[in-house]
Structure 1
């Protein structure tokens, strides 16, 4: 759900050769907090992160699905609308005072151990459930955003990606 970023995300993005993620967070406060958290995790792992604002004409608390409905489920219209979204400045995360904060680098080093040690493909990660397939947009290390068919390992707020 919103705000929950799976532990396996960084290892999968590294394995797929993703260098940049473009995210379209929900337009509510939780979407903004989730985007800030995702930015910190990805930047700490050496992956460029860019957030973009969904259009103002969408309803309050909108998400990428609302934009999909607005363009009448037209794939090219959706890509065009995403391309017109303005950058959303994301600053450093602000933890809540009562949060049990663990530094992200304790769980995800900037470069996965298997890659640092020259083992090649890091192989299965510690994510529960089946391995997600590599999206067409990220095969071959595309410099685009990433998605994942495994619901446990996806950012539902609209990760720009394949067709």
Structure 2
């Protein structure tokens, strides 16, 4: 019987002796993780807000040179975008007109189309004409990151410029 008492006592003593040794002295809590002094930051995606479009003004600038036909240039200001272009018109009665200036996703798209401005009994020259135009789009604050210019003519719909601010 004394042997059982001795074994029970040794089991209790040995468990108590190693109880403080299971955790480390490295500052961990014994669970395997180490506390940090600084909180961890979880990256979050901040939604970007695009500048609100206020208005677009369209101006015909007369004729342009054939070498500039089917092209446009985009310039960015503080709160505006300026587009200067040259549209290929099918005849002397067709002129450029602003069809649309709006966002499609994050891209601000300016669409210029040729329109027939002849009277029903008016004869038009059959020569191709090159017509200059300017579009100024204003925004509440800032400008869009991407502007795309599209021409719609007898040849179809074509993106003639894409610019990034």
- Shared fold (TM-score, shorter chain, > 0.5): no
Q: Which has the higher strand share?
A: 2
Q: Which has the higher helix share?
A: 1
**TM-score under structure 2 normalisation?**
0.22
State the structure with bigger RCO (CA 8 A, min sep 6), 1 or 2: 1
**TM-score under structure 1 normalisation?**
0.23
Larger Rg: 2
